[in-house]
Amino acid sequence: LGGWLTEVYNWRWVFLINMPIGIVTVIGLLIFMDETDTRREMRFDWFGFIALAVGIGALQLMVDRGEQLGWFGSTEIQIELIVAIAGFYYFFAHSLTTSEPFVRFELFRDRNFVGGCLFMVVLGMTVFATMTLSALFLQLVLGYPVMSAGMMLAARGLGTMVGMLGVGRLLRVVEARTLIFVGMILIAGTMYQLVYFTNMTPASTIISVTVVQGLGLGLVFVPLSTAAFATLPANLRTDGTAILTLVRNIGSSVGIPVVVATLVNSTSVMHAQLAEHITPFNAALQSPDVRAIIDPETDTGRALIDNLLTQQAQIIAFGNSFKLLMILAIISIPFLLIIGKSGLRRAGAPAEAAAMD
């Protein structure tokens, strides 16, 4: 849908399309959802909320604009770093000394929840960064239009849907940690395949790898949420849901700029290294067959050589970026040692209910 909107209209409609959906959703909630009980004796921690928002907002700006502005050589980035540190400092200092903090830190006494948060950070970094890189690869290297790239990447959603539909029943007979492990192996395996994608990779291979990656995501998301909340007291689950979503978003907001910066820097470095071989002493370039197609002594020939170097540099750079994400997925697997058993396999409880309770 995003690819179609971008191609037919413009990129702004990718965001604007959410407005009517959001309005219909709010109306539906007002009509069909009962009001929850409120505790009037509790007060909202405005100071903690504002301090956390300032810290996260400044951090987001810093990682988003760092590559563009030259990171810490920029005054703006330095200011955003100071503001982020100050925001987080005041948030933690205030939260540890007030009776009703915005974030209840007893959440982090639960081993399963802590493990789930750590895993969710890594998952946010790998999943959203992979989506960004895959779209760029299809458009920049393979030359697919936005619509075609979007249709091919939609296969990931199909795999995720299949995985999430089946994992609910699997959780009754298989431990959540086992499903998460299998899902991460599938994700890491598809990353390994993405490392070796080139401009000659057929569409069928891209779609099959994307579907398997989506299946891996489906095997991770529901079991991870189930395990994270398995031993969390019921009165903390609302706060826990918000924190789990927050850390996932932080992971994605950090992961995307990091891999894009890796892609840009790696492309520049590889282009320079490949260009070192374009000399009058290169026997391959002096071959009559090559010179019949590319004459490095003409402007057209030099432009063609530069385009070929750029394409090859991008292919290598994308491979390096996917390799970074593969390594990140692999090193996250030991976090499963922190997560205990979910207990659903013994109890026979529906996984969907446990995850949403």
The model's pLDDT over 194-230, given as tens digits with 9 standing for 90+, comes to 999 988 889 899 999 999 999 998 898 888 888 888 8
For residue range 126-184, what is the model confidence (pLDDT) as tens digits? Answer: 888 888 898 889 988 888 888 888 888 888 888 888 888 888 788 888 888 889 899 99
Q: Are residues 312 and 191 in the same domain?
A: yes
Strand stretches in the chain, DSSP E:
none
Q: Are residues 11 and 140 in the same domain?
A: no
CA distances from 187 to 128, 223, 302, 323 (A): 13, 15, 40, 12
Tell me whether residue 201 is in a domain: yes
Which of 198, 220, 215, 200 is closest to 155 using CA atoms?
215
Q: What is the pLDDT of residue 40?
A: 59
Tell me whether residue 90 is in a domain: no
Residue 22 belongs to domain spanning: 1-35
SS3 66: helix
Q: Are residues 109 and 6 in the same domain?
A: no
Q: Residue 157 maps to which CATH number?
A: 1.20.1250.20
Q: Are residues 136 and 30 in the same domain?
A: no
Tell me whether residue 80 is in a domain: no
Q: Give pLDDT < 50 ranges for the chain.
A: 347-357
What is d(CA 277, CA 120) in angstroms, rounded to the nearest whole number? 44
Name the H helices within 196-283: 203-229, 237-275
Q: Are residues 146 and 3 in the same domain?
A: no
Q: What is the pLDDT of residue 135?
A: 87
Q: What is the pLDDT of residue 39?
A: 62
Q: Are residues 138 and 12 in the same domain?
A: no
What is d(CA 189, CA 191) in angstroms, rounded to the nearest whole number? 5
Q: Are residues 30 and 109 in the same domain?
A: no
Tell me whether residue 236 is in a domain: yes
Tell me whether residue 203 is in a domain: yes
Q: What is the pLDDT of residue 356?
A: 40
Provide the number of structural domains found in the chain: 2
Tell me whether residue 92 is in a domain: no
Name the H helices within the chain: 2-8, 13-16, 18-32, 46-69, 75-95, 111-140, 146-170, 176-195, 203-229, 237-275, 288-293, 299-332, 344-347, 351-356
Q: Are residues 345 and 259 in the same domain?
A: yes
Tell me whether residue 49 is in a domain: no
Tell me whether residue 288 is in a domain: yes
